[in-house]
């Protein structure tokens, strides 16, 4: 991001106030803080605007695949997630061969889907691969995939076979995989002709940079880089070199999303895990099993979570659904993961609940209890302060892990207190078995 002074230098400096700011300098300061858009100044010259847009673009280009349903790759600005967080999560693609039964295959891929803690995990893309070597077979396969699969896809094929399929698919903006030193000119020409993003692949980092330089010069903007990492070590090191070069040294040839093409099975999943932690924007698998996919999706969710989200939630009353004057009252610790998990499990039951969050300094239920930060007095005070006890005459449910505080709490609150589940995931069953409010 340019500084306020760098912005100021490119503004007309007439202080005409048309941007709504008193001076050009004030406007420049807003720009530097990303609180205004360059277009808000109607008088800026085209050259200045281009210069500004170029220097304010993120060091890693955002490449968008698909139409309607999109996958966004890149757009990253930092090397470590704690600095500002990573932006566009790693996408996972599974291969569809043009020699297999495409309907069955797409069906199977669609089944790789999980709903977890209010989030849906599913395969982001397919990669249609030409194994037939026949342009007609490949084109038919791609057309059928487009009918069955709404989300983005990649086309994996040789330059000689690609065009007929690409001409049928270009409106969906597929990712072309891939150009290398052998087929470079043909692939670049196709990428330009159909304006579809292009993967450049070369196991040598120097030649990969050379390819990126040449492709850009020839007019391809949407580039994705495959470092040809053959193992975990190459994946970590090549991705780190590329990303550090782009972000710290402004080495433009590496300012693009990174990807991996792996096979299937244990080692493929291990590379995908490393790629997910280390700057990978896309991993294409031959195949992915559900017991591999769920941990991998979860890893991606963890790595791409906004790091600014505090680890604690505020003490207070959180109504779930539309609880009434008889709805049950749950309470738990203010460790954000505890909160999110309990909340999601209550939501799953579809039964309205008053959820009281008690300030435990961000500790989880058991840790807080043994540290003396989650005792009956403390809980009773939180319940009284929030007013929930006058909002509902429902029973109070104690987290199963701290069942020991039940008698004391019953005494302090003077109302029915029952022991809930030890595991959050058992809450829906528990709630359904709870007798309905009077």
Partner 1 sequence: MDGGEGASCAEHASADMSDTMKIPDVSEKYPGKIGEIVLGKGDYIAGGSDGMPLLSFENTCKRRMMIAGEVVDDLTDYPELAASMFNGRQKDPVEWSLMWKSIGADMICLRLKGTDPDKGKTTEYASELVERIADATQLPVIVYGCGIPEVDDNLMKEISNSVKNRRLVLAKADEEGHKTISSAAIAGKHALIAFSNLDLNLAKQMNIVLTDFGVQRSDILMDPLMAPLGMGLDYSYSVNERIRLAALSGDKMLQIPMICDATGAWDVGDAVNDDDADLGDVVNRVTWWETMTAMAAMASGADIVIMRGPGAADMILGYADELRCD
Residues lying near ligand SF4 in the complex (CB under 6 A) are found at: 11-12, 14-19, 21, 24, 27, 41, 43
Instruction: Quote the least distance from Cβ 165 to partner 1, whole Å.
Output: 13
Q: Is the Cα torsion angle 379, 380, 381, 386 positive or negative in sign? A: positive
CA neighbor of 361 nearest in space, from 329, 399, 397, 314: 314
Rounded Cα distance, 128 and 155, in Å: 5
**Residue 194 DSSP code:** T
Among 30, 144, 232, 419, binds partner 1 (CB under 8 A): 232
Among 20, 22, 118, 263, binds partner 1 (CB under 8 A): 263
Instruction: Quote the least distance from Cβ 120 to partner 1, whole Å.
Output: 13
Q: 171: helix, coil or strand?
A: helix
Residue 245 interface partner, choices partner 1, ligand SF4, none, CB cut-off 5-8 Å depending on type: partner 1
Rounded Cα distance, 226 and 208, in Å: 8
Residue 180 interface partner, choices partner 1, ligand SF4, none, CB cut-off 5-8 Å depending on type: partner 1
Beta strands in 98-149 (DSSP E): 113-116, 119-122, 125-129
- From 50-58, 141-149, 231-239, 402-410, span contacting partner 1 (CB under 8 A): 231-239
Pick the closer one to partner 1 by CB: 228 or 437: 228
Residue 27 interface partner, choices partner 1, ligand SF4, none, CB cut-off 5-8 Å depending on type: ligand SF4
Residue 177 phi/psi, 5-degree rounding, is -120, 115
Q: Work out whether 88 is an interface residue with partner 1 (CB under 8 A).
A: no
Rounded Cα distance, 371 and 375, in Å: 9
Instruction: Quote the least distance from Cβ 54 to ligand SF4, whole Å.
Output: 19
- From 32-40, 47-55, 174-182, 347-355, span contacting partner 1 (CB under 8 A): 174-182
Which residues from 346-375 bind partner 1, rule CB under 8 A?
363, 367, 370-371
Residue 425 interface partner, choices ligand SF4, partner 1, none, CB cut-off 5-8 Å depending on type: partner 1
Q: Work out whether 95 is an interface residue with partner 1 (CB under 8 A).
A: yes
**Cross-strand pairs, 260:** 283
Instruction: Quote the least distance from Cβ 316 to partner 1, whole Å.
Output: 21
Pick the closer one to ligand SF4 by CB: 21 or 360: 21
Instruction: Quote the least distance from Cβ 1 to ligand SF4, whole Å.
Output: 18
Q: Is the Cα torsion angle 30, 36, 42, 43 positive or negative in sign? A: positive
Pick the closer one to ligand SF4 by CB: 14 or 384: 14
Instruction: Quote the least distance from Cβ 93 to partner 1, whole Å.
Output: 14
CA torsion, ordered 295, 269, 133, 126, to nearest 10 deg:
20
Pairing of strands 353-358, 113-116: unpaired
Q: Work out whether 236 is an interface residue with partner 1 (CB under 8 A).
A: yes
Among 25, 241, 413, 434, binds partner 1 (CB under 8 A): 241
Residue 395 phi/psi, 5-degree rounding, is -75, 155
Residue 18 interface partner, choices partner 1, ligand SF4, none, CB cut-off 5-8 Å depending on type: ligand SF4
Q: Work out whether 228 is an interface residue with partner 1 (CB under 8 A).
A: yes
Pick the closer one to partner 1 by CB: 70 or 426: 426
The answer to whether 188 touches 27, Cβ cutoff 8 Å, is: no
CA neighbor of 280 nearest in space, from 336, 226, 219: 226
Q: Work out whether 415 is an interface residue with partner 1 (CB under 8 A).
A: no
Among 20, 22, 118, 133, binds partner 1 (CB under 8 A): 133
- From 60-68, 190-198, 217-225, 281-289, span contacting partner 1 (CB under 8 A): 281-289
**Cross-strand pairs, 115:** 120
Q: 226: helix, coil or strand?
A: strand
Pairing of strands 417-419, 62-65: unpaired
Q: What is the contact mask toward partner 1 in residues 288 to 327, using x (rule: CB under 8 A)? A: -xxxxxxxx-xx-xxx-x-x---x----------------
CA neighbor of 204 nearest in space, from 178, 233, 182, 227: 227
Residue 157 interface partner, choices ligand SF4, partner 1, none, CB cut-off 5-8 Å depending on type: partner 1
Among 81, 216, 348, 381, binds partner 1 (CB under 8 A): 81
CA neighbor of 349 nearest in space, from 429, 436, 437: 429
The answer to whether 90 touches 300, Cβ cutoff 8 Å, is: yes
Q: Work out whether 231 is an interface residue with partner 1 (CB under 8 A).
A: yes
Pick the closer one to partner 1 by CB: 392 or 421: 421
What is the DSSP track for 283-346? EEES---HHHHHHHHHHHHHHHS-TTS-SBPPSEEEEES---TT--EEEEE-BHHHHHHHHHHH
């Amino acid at each position: 991001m340019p500084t306020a002074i760098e912005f100021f230098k490119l503004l007309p400096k007439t202080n005409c106030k048309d941007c709504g700011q008193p001076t050009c300098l004030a406007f420049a300061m807003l720009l530097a803080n990303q609180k205004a858009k360059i277009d808000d100044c109607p008088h800026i010259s085209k050259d200045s605007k281009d210069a500004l847009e170029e220097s304010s673009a993120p060091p890693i280009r955002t490449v968008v695949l698909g139409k309607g349903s999109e996958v966004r790759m890149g757009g990253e600005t930092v090397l470590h997630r704690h600095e500002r967080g990573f932006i566009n999560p790693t996408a996972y693609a599974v291969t569809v061969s043009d020699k297999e039964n495409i309907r069955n295959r797409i069906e199977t891929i669609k089944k790789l889907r999980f709903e977890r803690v209010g989030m849906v995990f599913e395969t982001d893309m397919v990669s249609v691969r030409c194994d037939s070597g026949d342009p007609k077979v490949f084109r038919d396969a791609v057309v059928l995939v487009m009918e069955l699969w709404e989300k983005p896809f990649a086309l994996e094929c040789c330059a000689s076979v690609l065009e007929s399929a690409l001409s049928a698919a270009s409106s969906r903006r597929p990712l072309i995989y891939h150009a290398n030193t052998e087929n470079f000119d043909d692939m670049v020409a196709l990428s330009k002709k159909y304006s579809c993003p292009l993967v450049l692949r070369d196991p040598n980092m120097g030649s990969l940079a050379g390819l990126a330089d040449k492709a850009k010069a020839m007019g391809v903007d949407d580039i994705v880089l495959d470092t040809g990492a053959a193992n975990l070590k190459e994946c970590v090191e090549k991705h780190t070199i590329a990303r550090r070069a782009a972000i710290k040294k402004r080495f433009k040839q590496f300012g693009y999303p990174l990807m991996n093409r792996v096979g299937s099975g244990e080692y493929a999943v291990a590379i995908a895990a490393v790629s997910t932690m280390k700057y990978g924007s896309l991993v294409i698998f031959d195949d992915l099993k559900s017991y591999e996919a769920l941990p991998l999706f979860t890893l991606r969710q963890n790595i791409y979570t906004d790091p600014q989200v505090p680890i604690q939630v505020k003490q207070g009353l959180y109504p779930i659904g539309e609880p009434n004057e008889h709805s049950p009252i749950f309470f738990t610790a203010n460790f954000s993961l505890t909160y999110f998990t309990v909340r999601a499990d209550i939501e799953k039951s579809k039964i309205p609940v008053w959820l009281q969050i008690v300030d435990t300094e961000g500790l989880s239920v058991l840790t807080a209890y043994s540290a003396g930060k989650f005792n009956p007095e403390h809980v009773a005070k939180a319940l009284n302060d929030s007013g929930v006890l006058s909002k509902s005459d429902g029973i109070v449910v104690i987290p199963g892990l701290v069942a020991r505080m039940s008698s004391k709490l019953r005494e302090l609150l003077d109302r029915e207190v029952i022991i809930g589940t030890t595991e959050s995931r058992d809450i829906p069953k528990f709630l359904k078995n709870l007798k309905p409010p009077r």
